[in-house]
Amino acid sequence: MLQKLKRRCPSPAMTVALVALVAALGGTAYAAGQINGNSIMKQSIGGGKLKKQTLTGYQVNVNKLGEVPLAKRTTHTFWAVVHNPSGPGNATLTRSSDNGAISATEAVDVIFPIGVADCANVAGRNNDGTSPPQSGYAQTNVAAVNQNAIEVHTKDKSGDNEDSDFQLIVVCP
């Protein structure tokens, strides 16, 4: 009979394992009951440890956020007015949304502070206020050598290349 009873007793290793399991579960349950949002000290949990979508605008101090580049604009909209009298390489930037730059060879490249390859752009042939307007149109492409530049070709009313003033607008997502 003693042998039957001995077979039913757990081994010492099993006893130690069960005691460790009970202690671990009891400690976790106690900690879960004792720690809540009020007991966490400010600045003690880094942003990388927070779950996504757990902070709202109420918890964020907007005054401590830095300025996002180009955030002063509702969209990334750039514009330029270019004076381009006849003759190679003599185009000048009359006015622009930024301190832009231009380079002129066969066409006029208007250079912006960010890449404009994925942006919508339109140019219109018009005067910059220094000369009378002429009939014709302007054609635009993203410059092949500079992803920050829009290449503008001005044409006369029959479609031939002709240097002329133009206005350019670029809207980026």
Backbone angles phi, psi at 21, to 5 degrees: -65, -45
Q: Residue 63: is its pLDDT beyond 80?
A: no
CA 37 from centroid of its chain's CA atoms: 33
pTM assigned to the model: 0.55
Portion of the chain with pLDDT greater than 70, in percent: 90
24-43 per-residue burial string, b: 16 or more CB within 10 A, e: under 16: eeeeeeeeeeeeeeeeeeee
CA 128 – CA 89 distance, rounded (Å): 17
Backbone angles phi, psi at 41, to 5 degrees: -75, 150
Which residue reads 């671990």 in tokens?
A: 24
Between residues 168 and 54, the one the model is more confident about: 168
Helix, strand, or coil here: 16?
Answer: helix
